[in-house]
Amino acid sequence: MRHLMSPMDFTTAELDALFDLAADIEKQPQVYAHKCDGKILATCFYEPSTRTRLSFESAMLSLGGNVLGFSDAGSSSAAKGESVSDTIRTVACFSDICAMRHPKEGAPMVAASHADIPVINAGDGGHQHPTQTLTDLLTIRSLKGRLNNFTIGLCGDLKFGRTVHSLIEALVRYDNIKFVFISPEELRVPDYITEMLNEKSIPYEEHISLEDTIANLDLLYMTRVQRERFFNEEDYVRLKDFYILDKKKMSLAKEDMLVLHPLPRVNEISVEVDEDKRAVYFKQVQYGKYVRMALILTLLELA
Amino acid sequence: MLNVGQIEEGFVLDHIQAGKSLAIYHLLQLDKLDYTVAIIKNARSNKHGKKDILKIECDITKVNLDVLALIDKNITVNVIKNGEIIDKKELSLPKEIKNIIQCKNPRCITSIEQGLPHIFVLSDEKKEIYRCKYCEEKYNERAQQFMRW
Ligand SMILES: [Zn+2]
């Protein structure tokens, strides 16, 4: 039995199979509408994340399965002090597969080691959020037709943004990727990332200005600057508007550059960009559902 | 040099950094075992000026020496049988260490989950980097926190 803890749990060959399946689900969803009849997905969310939970639930429902679960720790047994390992043993009696989100890093791994059902890490603190990375990869693969040979710009909070770190680690396994990191000095990509890129001789640039470099990009991955990452309000206010992607900046970009964003956005992408065909962050949400469907099928060995 | 009794069967940890023998005594949990142990502090050493030595009279397999490499690879292990050194063991970094170092990451599940062992995995042998199995927090300062006991 397999679990999904980190996007690196799958080899690139296994990812290819997963993405092929997701692409087929997109093409002919009716074929998959009853694949999970009689199966139950438990969504154990110890902290609220409505989008991720709905994506999992919608994925399971579209496969013909059912869902149950809780959506914040306050309403769950965790509020009474039950351990993750006890909770998962109970949940495993009621369901066939579990998606777990937890504010503590490594909690889904504890669950996986005590469960006799597959566990999917649906986000554990600042650590991993593998289904977001799978979503990003599937979006790029589906809309660009490939996962190699491009220049990707990552913009915003590159220091704390775990989706960015996971995406970088996942992309370095593909050929001929160039990274352009665009961030304020305070939110630069951590050393362990640049050290890893240096070690593997993977090209990257670091920039402060988005305008100066947007013309070179095949993909632009925008991220949110989160209030909770800052010790004082002043720094947050100063940095949150540092990069706002608007029509003017988009006019400098390539005709086929794609804009991705893990959502929710605050104001780092102006709504006027939404109608630009290069803005694919809502399509990304759709791919997030397809990739979770493919993942559920794969882990339940129903693929 | 002071010679605290030859041991017949057991092992000698030599070239311990001066002053650290007691910490190692605790780390190897010798306080909980019923073996004869000689702790020699500040012995003269040609290499380092001063050193500590531990002589332990028990079968070497009874004590888990894996953690020693974590603290100081310069420690030498001499296995004694019938009063003679019959083997010198090389210290190598253990692949996994359980309940020796604690994860210090306040966001780690180990900080709240009861009864969960603290496990660190050797993630980079060359750089001697250990990471928490759960949160992947790095731990590579040679167990300094123990040495403060
Ligand atoms: Zn940890």
- List pLDDT tens digits, range A170-219: 999 999 999 999 998 888 999 989 999 999 999 999 999 999 999 999 99
The parent domain of residue A32 ranges over 7-128+288-299
Residues of chain B contacting residue A84, judged by C-beta atoms under 8 Å apart: 109, 113
DSSP, res B25: H
Percentage of residues of chain A with pLDDT beyond 70:
98
| A1 in a structural domain | no
Distance of CA A72 from the midpoint of ligand 1 (Å):
22
Q: Identify whether residues B15 and B41 lie together within a single domain.
A: yes
Q: Is the ipTM of this complex over 0.90?
A: no
| A84 in a structural domain | yes
User: Each residue of A158-168: pLDDT tens digit?
Assistant: 998 889 999 99
| B2 in a structural domain | no
Q: Identify whether residues B75 and B51 lie together within a single domain.
A: yes
pLDDT at position B42: 92
pLDDT at position A113: 96
User: Each residue of A56-82: pLDDT tens digit?
Assistant: 999 999 999 999 999 977 766 666 678
The parent domain of residue B58 ranges over 10-89
Q: Identify whether residues A121 and A136 lie together within a single domain.
A: no
Q: Identify whether residues B57 and B113 lie together within a single domain.
A: no
| A2 in a structural domain | no
| A33 in a structural domain | yes
pLDDT at position A239: 74
Percentage of residues of chain A with pLDDT beyond 90:
84
* Sites in chain B below the pLDDT cut of 70: 1-5, 48, 140-149
| A178 in a structural domain | yes
pLDDT at position A250: 97
- Total structural domains within chain B: 2
| B118 in a structural domain | yes
Element (H, E) at B27: helix B21-27
Using a CB–CB cutoff of 8 Å, tell me whether B136 touches chain A.
Answer: yes
Ligand 1 ion local residues (Cβ < 5 A): B 103, 105, 108, 132, 134-135, 137
- Total structural domains within chain A: 2
In A213-246, which positions are buried (b, 16+ CB within 10 angstroms) versus exposed (e)? bbebbbbbbbbbbeeebbeeeeeeeebbebbbbe
Q: What is the mean pLDDT of residues A91-119?
A: 97
pTM over 0.90: no
pLDDT at position B149: 40
Q: Nearest CA to CA, how far is B136 from chain A (Å)?
A: 8
Q: Identify whether residues A123 and A171 lie together within a single domain.
A: no
| A171 in a structural domain | yes
| B5 in a structural domain | no
Q: Identify whether residues A135 and A276 lie together within a single domain.
A: yes
Q: Nearest CA to CA, how far is A218 from chain B (Å)?
A: 32
Cis before A264 (ω within 30): yes
